[in-house]
Amino acid sequence: MKFGIIKERKNPPDRRVVFTPSELVRLKELYPEATVAVESSDIRIFTDVQYQSLGITVTDDVSDCDILFGVKEVPIESLIPNKAYFFFSHTIKKSPGNRKLLQAILEKNIDLYDHETIVNSENNRLIGFGRYAGIVGVYNGIRAFGIKFELFKLPKAETLSGKDALIAHLKRITLPPLKFVITGSGKVGNGAKEILDAIKIKEVTIDNYLTKNYTQAVYVQLNVLDYNKRKDGQVLDYTDFYEHPTEYVSDFEKYTKVTDVYFTGHFHSPAAPIILTREMLQSKDCKIKVVADISCDVNGPIACTLRASTIAEPIYGYFPGENKEVDVFHPAAIVVMAVDNLPSEIPKDASEGFGEQFMEHVIPAFFNGDKDGILQRAKMTENGKLTPRFSYLQDYVDGK
């Protein structure tokens, strides 16, 4: 079996990679029967020379590989027919912009495994960059606050070497007694928490967050039932929320009255309530000054996320009174940070973490007969057709 690491070709360029040089060395040590080739790249965070120096083959042609690993969507013209691919295709939610990509994958008889579809038997995701999105999202959110109020200047995350450098820069600034709220307790939310803990921001209880004033910056991390409530007033469990999301409404407004900076790290089902509504943002007692929408669902649960922003231009202003984008320095503007590829800003750390996850959860499946069903569950296409698990995408493929 021959594995290939493909060059990232999506624009803007992404410097991440599924496997670092040292991780590929480990793969070959654990599975001597595997062979590996890396497609030459001038943008990857790890250079061709770094791979070659560890004995990894670097080549301009990976068409003889059986399994090809990438990060972002592969341009249609670069897809090699009759291969198996792993990458983020952004098709499982029927993204209109990627319909042609999935159509091409089927036409070219490609077996597609989307990184998002790699789950365990309980349907929990095993692979992702979420932790790193949370880490960079907090840095960018605090940086946005400094820009808006001209209190301090932090360099862009992409200019720094990684997580440790982000933390070091955050520790150098003096924060006013801000209140930060995080929604979500998965990989993204916990990545956000990791940074706040690292810079010694105090975590407090919900009751204290809502009722007390502090002389230092504090934060609270919320689970889904902390900011949603049943319409009928019953207090049930998480299972009820996930099974009956339409029976709930947002209860986030109480946090908007005391929060300065909001970090979103939640997963949001389309059937679930909008979390931060236009009405909340327009309220005279809304204190939110910065929304770092790490989850970045445009036209989703965060009303001020009018569009995704970019690493080059990461922030924009939102004017609640007219529900429109304005300059960041507009006196009534809430600052929105909604970069949708945050882990790209710390590509070395993100690649190292991703490769470790991949080695733990995915690579063994190629050599143990897929005894845990990892590959079977993740495979979206086979023999030019959608697999049964992803047959719900047929109308999307058909353009209906």
Torsion, Cα 291 294 297 303, to 10 degrees, reads -10
CB pairs under 8 A, 24+ apart, for 240-248?
A: 241/272, 242/269, 245/269, 245/271, 245/272, 245/273, 246/271, 248/272, 248/273
The pLDDT assigned to 363 comes to 98
Alpha-carbon distance 68 to 381, whole Å? 15
Query: Position 108: which residue type?
Result: K
Alpha-carbon distance 177 to 396, whole Å? 48
Burial code (b: 16+ CB inside 10 Å, e: under 16) for 135-173 equals bbbbbbbbbbbebbeeebebeebeebebbebbbebbeee
User: CB of 302 within 8 A of CB of 290?
Assistant: no
User: CB of 17 within 8 A of CB of 351?
Assistant: yes
The pLDDT assigned to 123 comes to 92
Structure tokens at 363: 């690579």
Instruction: Enumerate the β-bridge partners of residue 84.
Output: 67, 111
Phi then psi dihedrals of residue 222, to 5 deg: -110, 140
Q: Which residue has the tokens 């349907």?
A: 123
Q: Is there a binding annotation on residue 226?
A: yes
Secondary element (H or E) of residue 12: none
The pLDDT assigned to 92 comes to 93
**Going from the N-terminus, what domains does the chain have, and what CATH number goes with each?**
2-127+347-398 (3.40.50.720), 130-340 (3.40.50.720)
The pLDDT assigned to 93 comes to 86
The backbone region for 308, taken as left when phi is positive above 0, alpha when psi lies in -120 to 50, beta otherwise, is: beta
Radius of gyration for the alpha carbons in the chain, expressed in angstroms and rounded: 22
Mean pLDDT by 10 residues, the chain (400 residues): 96 94 97 97 98 98 98 97 97 91 98 97 94 98 98 97 98 98 96 98 98 98 97 93 95 98 92 96 98 93 97 97 97 97 97 97 97 98 98 93
What residues are annotated to the active site?
A: 72, 90
The pLDDT assigned to 96 comes to 86
Alpha-carbon distance 251 to 225, whole Å? 9
User: CB of 133 within 8 A of CB of 345?
Assistant: no
| The model's pTM | 0.93
